[in-house]
């Protein structure tokens, strides 16, 4: 049964990636183009200042892959790989949690799980380390930023696990609500502590347009929301069928 | 539960032979799924950024927009 759920989860992730790509094409790519324009004019300006000669904006990596490919096949591939990966993991958590974490119906449980995952993996880590468009962020710190970002995601997930354990340990009959609130406090406390301890990263150029940054981040969140909503809804529908059919012949 | 059942009309369907999928059934697929996920995520998020398995910047540039949108540090 897990096999059927796993590949449906990956498929739901790829379907979500297709829709997310459409969304990103419409709402995020215009912001990325503007940010790249800012980056290029900025580096041309700098080159002109430093060399006091004809501005030769570094050819950089830009020519390796055309913008058209980055916006099309590249974007779709990146989101599809991400969707398949998180969709697969999502289906495994579903397989474990279904019937173990309460007795919700499969579609409700899948949607709830998708909402919780979106908050834990996208929203909460994004508060400390928000998504950044091109032209924001320095080459030298990419390793630190990558480690810190993954650390923040791991912290958010780990804190959620601890919170669930605390909640279950404290739960008394008729007092589940209180235990859930306490679990929530534990989660917020652990995440807050982690945010305090993890390094602060502020590499937004002083003259980077604030509105562009906001629009990019909103579009980025929207892209993730489309992905996770699709996973939650599509996987729930497919999981219901798998469960109705019962154990499949191997 | 009662509210969700009333609103979503989505009843719990028992798993054949119990209330949950047995761990023995999940374990091998969990290994496969986790392995695939790590490989996929590595190429989307980190290859030719913080680490490089392959020379050049082609992978980085190809997934460039997705990497920015998904919040991974790009460059």
- Write out the two tokens for A189: 């406390």
DSSP element (H, E) containing B38: helix B23-45
Measured from the Cβ of residue A98, the count of other Cβ atoms closer than 10 Å reads: 26
**Which of A246, A239, A219 has its CA nearest to residue A20?**
A219
Q: What is the pLDDT of residues A127-172, one digit of tens each?
A: 999 999 988 888 888 889 999 999 999 999 999 999 999 999 988 8
Q: With pLDDT > 70 as the criterion, what percentage of chain A qualifies?
A: 91
**Which of A166, A162, A132, A133 has its CA nearest to residue A148?**
A132
Measured from the Cβ of residue A58, the count of other Cβ atoms closer than 10 Å reads: 11
Low-confidence residues of chain B: pLDDT under 50: none
Q: Which residues are CB-contacts of B12 (< 8 A; sequence separation ≥ 6)? A: A99, A103, A104, A105, A106
Is the CB of residue A222 less than 8 Å away from at least one CB of chain B?
A: no
A29 vs B contacts (CB less than 8 Å) = 65
**Which of A149, A214, A67 has its CA nearest to residue A222?**
A214
**Which of A130, A81, A195 has its CA nearest to residue B68?**
A130
- Which runs of E-coded beta strand occur in B1-75? none
**Residue B10, in any domain of the structure:** no
Task: State residue B1's pLDDT score.
Answer: 54
Task: State residue A39's pLDDT score.
Answer: 87
Task: State residue A8's pLDDT score.
Answer: 97
Task: State residue A48's pLDDT score.
Answer: 62
Q: What is the pLDDT of residues A3-37, one digit of tens each?
A: 999 999 999 999 999 999 999 999 999 999 999 99
**Residue B44, in any domain of the structure:** yes
Task: State residue A103's pLDDT score.
Answer: 87
CA distance A12 to chain B (A): 14
**Which of A164, A161, A137 has its CA nearest to residue A149?**
A137
As for how many domains chain B has, the answer is 1
Range of the domain at B65: 22-75
Say how many CB pairs under 8 Å bridge A and B.
Answer: 201
Is the CB of residue B4 less than 8 Å away from at least one CB of chain A?
A: yes
Query: What's the pTM?
Result: 0.89
Q: Which residue has the higher pLDDT, A68 or A186?
A: A186
**Residue B50, in any domain of the structure:** yes
Q: What is the pLDDT of residues A76-92, one digit of tens each?
A: 999 999 999 999 999 99
- Which runs of E-coded beta strand occur in chain A? none
Query: Looking at chain B, which residue has its C-alpha nearest residue A224?
Result: B70
Interchain contact, A77 vs B62, CB within 8 Å:
yes
Task: State residue B47's pLDDT score.
Answer: 85
**Which of B5, B28, B36, B67 has its CA nearest to residue A78?**
B67
Task: State residue A90's pLDDT score.
Answer: 97
CA distance A48 to chain B (A): 23
Distances (CA, A) of A151 to A110, A192, A212: 26, 14, 27
Task: State residue A49's pLDDT score.
Answer: 60
Residues 20 through 49 of chain B touching chain A, CB cutoff 8 Å: 20-21, 23, 25-26, 28-30, 32-34, 36-38, 40-41, 43-46, 49
Q: Which residue has the higher pLDDT, A93 or A205?
A: A93
Q: Which residue has the tokens 């009959």?
A: A173
Task: State residue B40's pLDDT score.
Answer: 94
**Residue B4, in any domain of the structure:** no
Is the CB of residue A41 less than 8 Å away from at least one CB of chain B?
A: no
C-alpha–C-alpha distance, residues A82 and B40, integer Å = 7
**Residue B7, in any domain of the structure:** no
Partners of residue B47 on adjacent β-strands:
B51
CA distance A236 to chain B (A): 10
**Which of A233, A245, A190 has its CA nearest to residue A90?**
A233
Q: Which residue has the tokens 């570094």?
A: A58
**Max Cα–Cα distance, chain B, nearest Å:** 57
Interchain contact, A78 vs B13, CB within 8 Å:
no
The radius of gyration of chain A's CA atoms, rounded to the nearest angstrom, is: 22
Domain definitions of chain A by residue range? 1-47+67-135+222-250, 137-203
- Write out the two tokens for A14: 């790829």
Query: Looking at chain A, which residue has its C-alpha nearest residue B23?
Result: A96
Q: What is the pLDDT of residues A34-66, one digit of tens each?
A: 999 998 888 776 666 655 444 444 445 457 888
Task: State residue B50's pLDDT score.
Answer: 78
**Residue B73, in any domain of the structure:** yes
Q: Which residue has the tokens 């699709």?
A: A230
Q: Are the C-beta atoms of A238 and A8 separated by less than 8 Å?
A: yes
Q: What is the pLDDT of residues A215-224, one digit of tens each?
A: 999 999 999 9
Task: State residue A250's pLDDT score.
Answer: 46
């Amino acid at each position: 049964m897990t096999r059927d759920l796993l590949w449906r989860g990956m498929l739901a992730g790829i379907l979500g990636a297709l829709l997310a790509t459409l969304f990103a094409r419409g709402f995020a790519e215009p912001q990325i183009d503007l940010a790249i324009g800012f980056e290029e004019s900025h580096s041309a300006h700098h080159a002109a200042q430093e060399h006091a000669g004809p501005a030769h904006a570094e050819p950089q990596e830009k020519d390796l892959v055309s913008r058209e490919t980055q916006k099309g096949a590249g974007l779709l591939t990146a989101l599809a790989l991400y969707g398949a990966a998180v969709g697969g993991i999502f289906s495994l958590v579903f397989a474990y949690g279904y019937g173990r974490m309460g007795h919700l119906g499969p579609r409700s449980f899948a949607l709830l799980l998708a909402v919780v995952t979106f908050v834990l993996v996208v929203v909460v880590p994004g508060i400390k380390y928000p998504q950044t468009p091109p032209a924001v962020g320095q080459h030298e710190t990419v390793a630190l930023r990558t480690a810190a970002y993954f650390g923040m995601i791991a912290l958010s997930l780990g804190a959620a696990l601890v919170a669930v354990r605390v909640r279950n340990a404290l739960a008394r009959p008729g007092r589940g609500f209180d235990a859930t609130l306490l679990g929530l406090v534990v989660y917020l406390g652990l995440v807050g502590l982690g945010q305090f301890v993890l390094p602060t990263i502020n590499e937004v150029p002083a003259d980077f347009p604030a509105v562009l940054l906001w629009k990019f981040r909103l579009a980025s969140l929207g892209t993730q929301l489309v992905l996770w909503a699709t996973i939650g809804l599509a996987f729930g529908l497919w999981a219901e069928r798998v469960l109705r059919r019962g154990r499949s012949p191997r | 539960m009662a509210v969700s059942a009333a609103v979503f009309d989505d009843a719990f369907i028992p798993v054949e032979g119990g209330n949950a999928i047995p761990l023995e059934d999940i374990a091998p697929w969990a290994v496969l799924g986790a392995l695939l996920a790590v490989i996929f995520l590595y190429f989307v998020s980190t290859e030719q950024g913080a680490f490089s398995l392959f020379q050049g910047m082609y992978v980085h540039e190809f997934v460039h927009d997705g990497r920015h949108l998904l919040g991974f540090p790009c460059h």
